[in-house]
Amino acid sequence: MRFRDIKKRKKQQQTAKDKVTVHYASYPDRIKALITDMFMIYAPILYLLTYVILGGKDEFQSSQLAPFIGVTLYGVIYAFLIAKFGQTPGKKAYEIIVVDDETYEKIGFFRAFIRFVAFLFSATILLGLLTPFYRKDRKALHDMIASTVEIVEDKRFKR
């Protein structure tokens, strides 16, 4: 055999070992994780904003700034949790972790916040939330924008 062929075969064997098998998170689990996060993070924010800071529902309903502050605060907390731990409490309950789609490493705060803003956009147009049904990697529009993927947590991902 020629040296070139031996080297080529060795490289092919090495790349086969380096390939990581990932299990993409199922869409129902992603929805359940979102609902859990809404109850665990967003509902307390709205409660505190409505009754502690503003003093009641009438003030909250008449304010144009209060809902924006609530969503922004939720987005900051969401992005912090994704950047620090790779998951929110809802995602942890369903063993889902948000990672980079190429390296499978955790993402940073800014990228997680951009992903949250993109989620608000994709939820508004609804088309972005339907894309996981047509993709093999189950990416939604906000995952494509942020170059992330939601996978089932594995022990090899250190937090």
pLDDT tens-digit readout, 22-70: 888 999 999 999 999 999 999 999 999 999 999 899 999 999 999 999 9
What span, in angstroms and rounded, lies between the C-alpha atoms of 104 and 156?
A: 11
Q: What percent of the chain has pLDDT over 70?
A: 86
Least Cα distance to 116 among 82, 150, 152 occurs for 82
The residue extents of the domains of the chain are: 22-152
What span, in angstroms and rounded, lies between the C-alpha atoms of 65 and 60?
A: 9
**Residue 3 pLDDT > 90:** no
